[in-house]
Chains A and B, each alone.
Chain A
Amino acid sequence: MLSNITMGQYYPVDSRVHRLDPRIKLILTIVFIVCVFLAHSFVGYLLLTAFLIMICRLSCVPFRFLLRGLKPLRMIIILTFLLNLFFTPGEDVWLAFWIIRITREAFLQALFYSLRLVFLVAGTSLLTLTTSPIALSDGIELLLSPLRRIHFPAHELAMMMTIALRFIPTLLEETDKIMKAQMARGADFESGNLLSRARAMVPLLVPLFVSAFRRAGDLALAMESRCYHGGEGRTRLRVLKITRNDWIACGVLALLLALIILEGIFLKGVLF
């Protein structure tokens, strides 16, 4: 019932992209996002598409998983396309009747803006598809740790994230189980109006909260009995190391960024 929701959507295979250092992957994703915003012409978008396809092939993630991430956003993407198509001013009119006026400029802008959204989602999906949630929060912790000097609780934040991520599947499983148990007692979660549906959630939410608090209490006790006292002086089991693979990835992204910037300088006027 709820088991088809894959949280964090991590796709567990071994590939060069999966093995990248999560810190590097996070930074490179940010660089990729910058590239997406810098691209201004067909050449730029072609470069980005080629890059995404290459990473997708390298990561061994099936292409449909990438498309699956776009599904919930398809309305927004279509809306962006339509709004830009109809409301961008331009000169080279392609089509005009009644109040609708479609120009070449509007079409290109609509295409580019919606492609930009697609690339943003696809790029960040690739990050979460190839990085386990635990590695991701490790990466975030290490990237934020310089901020500890200004008393930013990087470790605590990452620990909270890790715990939250760790318990999402557990709580989902629990929800599924309680839901089934109440359905076995004749509860009805699917029919009725909004009010009766909201009321039907009580038999689900109360046990869920009770068990979440119980688990939190148990976990706190277990952590304390193993002498957990925050990040001070804590070493890690898996020490992250930058490898040759990571440097290659950095090089590829740097090349992409450079090409996109050059494209912005030389081709910007050509198509817009």
Chain B
Amino acid sequence: MSIEVRHLTHCYSEGSAMRTVALDDVSLTIGDGEFIGIIGHTGSGKSTLVQHLNGLLKPSSGQILVNGQDLNGEHVNRRALRQQIGLVFQYPEYQLFEETVARDIAFGPKNQGLSQEEIDERVRYAMSCVHLDYEKYSERSPFELSGGQMRRVAIAGVLAMKPSVLILDEPTAGLDPRGRDRILSMLEELHARESTTIVMVSHSMDDMARLATRLIVMAEGKILATGTPREIFAQEEMMLSAGLGVPEAARLCRALRAAGYDLPGDLYRMEELKEHLLRLWSARKSGGKEAQPC
């Protein structure tokens, strides 16, 4: 399933003194099977953009095409489309409402009009996706779980609809490192195993470095740059001017290069930096002094 955004503009409070332009002529394409990271400073329009992608917000002007079909066209079943494009909001744990975890996760599939067996099967599937033990948690109240667990229940609630595109708005915000790691590896698995198209909004450059196949950098309602993480993270100046940073590994690599180490300029993952450093280290050990800093 591909999504194409054409010249999308969105203004809040149109026609009053409080009018603000949140998105300004944004165009982009999301291809099948991509893992797209949307990054940007607070207020750059990321959340507004993702809410357009499944028709929750209507554009002030411009179009969103899903498989070539205008999402806001007249004869479009938006409810059916929304179930194919799953959207996980910021702090999704605040949307939980049912008495048990299983029933909360079943809300989406139930709205799809599936049979009871199918719903049960979906609940089990979604809980296994987010690594929650069905036997242990399905009958618990969602309100007595920990924050990270609640977040995973909420994400399972969207996954249970088996969307072909999954959009997540800052899925790791406010979680401890372990909870964050769990969510990220869950997304990694989902992308690899089910080849679900994933769009993730995040502040964390390290999360993006780990997962995204393509990055979209936003600033003041516009797309500032788009490209692979390697291309984007090599432009530290541009990222800093957008009020963003680069991953730890890219910063470290830059500092090492400045100190005279012979490293490529576009490293951004800890693992690859480690590889290169080890190579330098072993070269110095065996080959003498040419790899040393001057």
Whether, in the assembled complex, A210 has its beta carbon less than 8 Å from a beta carbon of chain B, the answer is yes
Q: What separation, in Å, do the CA atoms of A182 and B88 have in the docked complex?
A: 10
The reply on B281 being an interface residue by CB < 8 A is no
Q: Is B92 an interface residue (CB 8 A)?
A: yes
Is A4 interfacial (CB-CB < 8 Å)? yes
Which of B82, B86, B95, B97 has the most C-beta atoms of chain A within 10 angstroms of its own C-beta? Answer: B95
- A3, B12: Cβ atoms under 8 Å? yes
Which residues of chain B are within 8 angstroms of A188 by Cβ–Cβ distance?
Answer: 79, 111
Q: Are A207 and B17 in contact (CB under 8 A)?
A: no
Asked if residues B112 and A210 are in contact (CB atoms below 8 Å), the reply is no
Give the CA-CA distance A21 to B87 in the complex, in Å. Answer: 48
Give which listed residue, A3, A174, A184, A210, contacts B54 with CB less than 8 A: A184
Of chain A, the residue at the smallest CB distance from B90 is A177
B51 at the interface (CB under 8 A from A): yes
A185 to B106, CA, bound (A): 10
Instruction: Indicate if the CB atoms of A211 and B89 lie closer than 8 Å.
Output: no
Report Cα–Cα, A207/B79, bound state, in Å.
22
- Does B17 contact A12, Cβ atoms closer than 8 Å? yes
Complex: A3 Cα to B82 Cα, angstroms: 21
User: Across chains A and B, which 6 residue pairs bring their CB atoms closest together, nearest first?
Assistant: A186-B111, A206-B97, A185-B108, A181-B95, A184-B87, A181-B89
**Chain A 173-192 interface mask (CB, 8 Å, partner B; 1/0):** 01001101111111110000
Residue pair B54, A185 in contact (C-beta under 8 Å): no
Which residues of A are in contact with B by a Cβ distance under 8 Å? 3-4, 6, 11-13, 174, 177-178, 180-188, 202-203, 206-207, 210-211
Residues A178 and B95 in contact in the complex (CB < 8 Å), given A4-B13, A183-B82: yes
Give me the interface of B with A, judged by CB distance under 8 Å: 12-13, 16-17, 51, 54, 56, 79, 82-83, 86-89, 92, 94-97, 107-108, 111-112, 143, 157-158, 161
Q: Are A207 and B112 in contact (CB under 8 A)?
A: no
Which residues does chain A contribute within 8 Å of B87, judged by CB atoms?
Answer: 181, 184
Task: Give the interface centre of A177, A188, A211 by most chain B CB atoms within 10 Å.
Answer: A177
| Complexed CA–CA distance, A185 and B84 (Å) | 10
A interface majority secondary structure: helix
Q: Which of A3, A178, A180 has the most CB of B within 10 A?
A: A180
From A13, A185, A210, give the contact of B158 (CB < 8 A). Answer: A185
Task: Check if B97 sits within 8 Å of A203, measured CB to CB.
Answer: yes
List chain A residues, Cβ under 8 A from B51: 180
CB distance B97 to A202 under 8 Å? Answer: yes
State the Cβ distance, B169 to closest chain A Cβ, in Å.
10
Contact (A186, B108) CB under 8 Å given A3-B13, A181-B95: yes
Is the pair A183, B56 in contact by a Cβ cutoff of 8 Å?
Answer: yes
For residue A189, give the distance in angstroms from its CB to the closest CB of chain B.
11
Selected contact of A186 from candidates B13, B83, B88, B143, CB within 8 Å: B83
| A188 and B82 alpha carbons, distance in the complex (Å) | 12
A-B contact pairs, 14 of them (CB 8 A): A4-B13, A6-B16, A177-B89, A180-B89, A181-B89, A182-B95, A182-B107, A183-B82, A184-B54, A185-B108, A185-B111, A185-B158, A206-B97, A210-B94
